[in-house]
Amino acid sequence: MHIFLYRFQEKLRVAVLVSKAALQFIQGLAPASEYTVPDDVKAAGYGICAEELSSIVESHDIKKLKSHGGVEAIAAKLCTSPEDGLPKSRRRQAVREELFGINRFAETESRSFWVFVWEALQDMTLMILAACAFFSLVVGIATEGWPKGAHDGLGIVASILLVVFVTATSDYRQSLQFKDLDKEKKKITVQVSRNGYRQKLSIYDLLAGDIVHLSIGDQVPADGLFLSGFSLLINESSLTGESEPVAVNAENPFLLSGTKVQDGSCKMLVTTVGMRTQWGKLMATLSEGGDDETPLQVKLNGVATIIGKIGLIFAVVTFAVLTEGLFRRKIMDASYLSWTGDDAMELLEFFAIAVTIVVVAVPEGLPLAVTLSLAFAMKKMMNDKALVRHLAACETMGSATTICSDKTGTLTTNHMTVVKACICGKIKDVESASDTKSLFSELPESAMTLLSQSIFNNTGGDVVFNKSGSREILGTPTETAILEFGLSLGGDFLAVRKASTLVKVEPFNSAKKRMGVVIQLPGGAMRAHSKGASEIILASCSKYLNDQGNVVPLDDATVAHLNATINSFANEALRTLCLAYVDVGDGFSANDQIPEDGYTCIGIVGIKDPVRPGVKESVAICRSAGIMVRMVTGDNINTAKAIARECGILTEGGIAIEGPDFRTKSAEELNELIPKIQVKFSLLLLVMARSSPLDKHTLVKHLRTTFDEVVAVTGDGTNDAPALHEADIGLAMGIAGTEVAKESADVIILDDNFSTIVTVAKWGRSVYINIQKFVQFQLTVNVVALIVNFSSACLTGSAPLTAVQLLWVNMIMDTLGALALATEPPNDELMKRTPVGRKGNFISNIMWRNILGQAFYQFIVIWYLQTEGKWLFGLKGENSDLVLNTLIFNCFVFCQVFNEVSSREMERINVFEGILDNNVFVAVLGSTVIFQFIIVQFLGDFANTTPLTLKQWFNCIFIGFIGMPIAAAVKLIPVDF
């Protein structure tokens, strides 16, 4: 289905591009016709309609755009201001929504419950059971008549319907949950100018005429036109499939919804919203997935199929053995040539026995257990601030052996402030307002002018006034810290920006570790400002401002002093940035490259980003859980080491390596380096500083391919997308993360906290181990029931457990067992064991020990009851066989009830701890006992049972309970993992 949708999407993309090209060709040949504004649009005061705007942007019709007077004329026709945005008016907003639409996509209709019922009926195992039900009805009615002979067949039908409705209900609820999660995933906000204020709005609140501010990593929220900006590159691969980015500027001003900002920044005029956009038209034909099977579901589907086939083989062998016995008798009696109706009925009875063996062998509940466990985990993880985008991430995270973590915003609070500064050679603490005022009074006026120019012009942030009239700083945490520092020094953001003209902007580049601008000063002179990683910017400087504010050449002593300052700031866990400028020639144009050398150093600032509370404890938990934590950051090596030590990541004997050094290592050297820091999950950890996006990707790929690690990666920037995509589990930050990072991730950490990542790992392990518990429980029942019925049928010619009874046991094993064991919440013990890793066996030696120990006890009990049960319970008379079979059935069920409790822990003796905290588990156990009582006491004809006495009930419960101390004793047998 997904392959079909993908192919259809590719065909649709081609069709869109072909139609666009054809439209442009036709419009190029045809003379431009005069546009007539529709009457309703004109009456509302607008000068252009939604259809005309859609055709201009979608077809990239620059000729038609010019015929309307250009982008600013379009803004005027939409009654909006490029500076202030849409005016505030509810009446006008309602009219605008009616004429131009709202920015929402029409969602495909949810599939009804009955569709899920039909899909559940397609299951092969249920088809086998349906065939068994049909033959059971035929055999039963033929041998015992109606209605008694139909009990087994109708029981199988009832069980099939129960399984189908439980499966359909689970899948239906899961689809609703995916829909809720999808809504959460699409909660995207953008910066918009409205009513003269810059503010954050949901993309669904955008209207035609809104002025949207886009920067690197953002997703274009609607179709629109470029108003102003710098170095804007748009990735249109989501629409066109072309990986090469498109430059958008005044000559090519068209922006399409769903594309992503790869580089630069801009101000965009929204022209088309919702279903009228090209992305909306594409989405109208497609629906998002979300129902892919996870690797564990696929694996368990395979296990269920194999077990079902084994059961089928046992059934065929049983039928063959019984039939052979009948033929032998006929040959011995010399009556093999004469066959009576009784002989045919006997053959049908043999077939019914074979059917019961197939019934007990088919484990419908295995995939259902995974679905229930994952759905439960996803819901709980959402409460714990983790949004799971891909279902497989739940189980994969439980096997994670390595976490490569970002520093800023993940290990730290992401609320930065400038706490130290070295301006004009003077080092000052500037944590308090009085410290800042003191620095301001000591700085020469010329230095203050240059510092304000650098801070307020060379920035990706903004200083605005919100609706309440209070000042607000917008931008990344680093940008807001620098802007706040500039304002505290008495600088005026708007005045400085108006005093000069921006000629060229190069946004921050993660590879160069710097950003730059060129401005035109009031006198016409050109000046470039650069800001970035201290050692990189300082290496570009040949001069500096001395304590008098004069420009003097950089000598070795000053360079040594500045480098020592950078190191001292970094050793205090401060992130350092260097500010510098250079005067460029008057002939500089926007097409020229900003100089990279010859700068004058203005100063160095140290920014503090405190470590989040609980991070050190979380890292310690990871270490005890066998998960190695690595910090990969773009910071100075000393800053990185200081933060890593504070978090407990870098310990004695640990290795810290810089990105440039890492890049020079050959594959052989990396193979030697990484094992040294991974010996038995020891305390040796890696800190990588000044890394590039490809460093992170290389590290992750090396860990996954060479060392078979299961790698989780955290990231928030567009530059983290390759590593997030390469990792087994990509974890994007929900607050600081760009849309590109979120789209590349499997899990979104809504609170940007490393502690939440540990919670995700804990839930992942919980999912994995809960499925193991369930499989252990189910295989125990399967092994016992299969061997008992097979051996009994072959030796005595009859099976002690009927099809209806076995189907009820299947319900306990499958639906109820899955519901109980798959919803066990995680405990702290989960994080005290080593991870399973990539090659770990799903059914471990511990599970086999528990399965075989419990199965042996149950098999011995049932065989003893079959052979000595009448003597043990003192049964006599015609009804003794029915009573004995009822007692065997009752004992077997209570063995499963108590085994379910024992299965809560695979290694620990105490299985009762926390049992009352799991309401679902208690409810399932209670329901099982109540239903068993009803089946035995009141459904005799249907289930082939007879009411039992109080003493017999007590004996059955006691026999089942004995399984618990036996299970505890079996756990004392030491085995390897």
CB-CB neighbours of 878 under 10 Å = 6
Q: What percent of the chain has pLDDT over 90?
A: 20
pLDDT of residue 185 exceeding 80: no
pLDDT of residue 539: 92
pLDDT of residue 396: 82
pLDDT of residue 13: 52
Cis peptide bond prior to 147, omega within 30° of 0: yes
Render pLDDT for 67-118 as a digit per residue (tens, 0 to 9): 999 999 999 999 999 988 998 877 888 899 899 998 887 666 677 888 888 8
Bridge partners, 606 (sequence order): 420, 576
Give, as one character, the DSSP assignment of residue 816. I
* Structure-model confidence comparison of residues 750 and 300, the more confident one: 750
- pLDDT-derived band at 26 (thresholds 50, 70, 90) equals very low
Pair 425, 547: CB distance under 8 Å: yes
Q: 114: which 2 tokens?
A: 């009955």
Q: In the Cβ-directed half-sphere of 221, how many Cα atoms lie within 13 Å?
A: 31
Render pLDDT for 360-397 as a digit per residue (tens, 0 to 9): 776 666 666 677 777 778 778 888 888 887 777 777 88
Give, as one character, the DSSP assignment of residue 443. S
**13-17, 136-140, 154-158, 481-485, range with greatest mean pLDDT:** 481-485
pLDDT of residue 591 exceeding 60: yes
pLDDT of residue 826: 84
Cα–Cα dist 563/959, whole Å: 78
pLDDT of residue 9: 45
* Structure-model confidence comparison of residues 464 and 19, the more confident one: 464
User: Which among 225, 216, 220 is positioned nearest to 248, based on CA atoms?
Assistant: 225
Lowest-pLDDT range of 279-288, 622-631, 635-644, 676-685: 676-685
What structural domains does the chain harbor?
A: 45-106+190-282 (2.70.150.10), 295-375+762-972 (1.20.1110.10), 386-412+612-752 (3.40.50.1000), 417-608 (3.40.1110.10)
The 3 state secondary structure assigned to 367-401 is HHHHHHHHHHHHHHHHHCCEEECCCHHHHHHCCCC
pLDDT of residue 797: 65
Render pLDDT for 883-938 as a digit per residue (tens, 0 to 9): 998 999 999 999 999 999 999 988 889 998 888 888 888 998 999 899 899 989 98
Number of residues in the chain: 977
**Does residue 406 have an active-site annotation?**
yes
pLDDT of residue 680 exceeding 80: no
Instruction: Enumerate residues 6+ apart whose C-beta is below 8 A from 93.
Output: 86, 207
pLDDT of residue 534: 92
Where helices occur in 443-542 by DSSP H, the ranges are 445-457, 477-488, 493-498, 534-539
Pairing of strands 628-632, 686-689: parallel
Amino acid at 633: T
Distance (Å) of CA 5 to CA 8, 280, 511: 5, 16, 37
Q: Which of 406, 462, 609, 752 is catalytic?
A: 406
pLDDT of residue 296: 66
pLDDT of residue 610: 82
Q: 962: which 2 tokens?
A: 């004995």
Where helices occur in 648-716 by DSSP H, the ranges are 659-664, 667-676, 693-705
Pair 510, 717: CB distance under 8 Å: yes
Pair 753, 413: CB distance under 8 Å: no
- pLDDT-derived band at 125 (thresholds 50, 70, 90) equals low
Helix, strand counts (H, E) of the chain: 36, 26
pLDDT of residue 427 exceeding 80: yes
Average pLDDT over residues 285-302: 56
- pLDDT-derived band at 170 (thresholds 50, 70, 90) equals low
pLDDT of residue 944 exceeding 70: yes
* Structure-model confidence comparison of residues 351 and 473, the more confident one: 473
* Structure-model confidence comparison of residues 304 and 92, the more confident one: 92
- pLDDT-derived band at 46 (thresholds 50, 70, 90) equals very high
Average pLDDT over residues 754-780: 86
For residue 589, the Cα-to-chain-centroid distance in whole angstroms is: 45
Render pLDDT for 614-663 as a digit per residue (tens, 0 to 9): 888 988 988 888 888 888 887 778 878 888 888 888 877 777 887 777 77
Pair 200, 231: CB distance under 8 Å: no
Q: 71: which 2 tokens?
A: 């982008």
pLDDT of residue 737: 74
- pLDDT-derived band at 142 (thresholds 50, 70, 90) equals confident
E strand intervals along 873-949: none
pLDDT of residue 291: 47
Task: Give the mean pLDDT of the chain.
Answer: 81
Cα–Cα dist 411/405, whole Å: 8
pLDDT of residue 201 exceeding 70: yes
Pair 649, 685: CB distance under 8 Å: yes
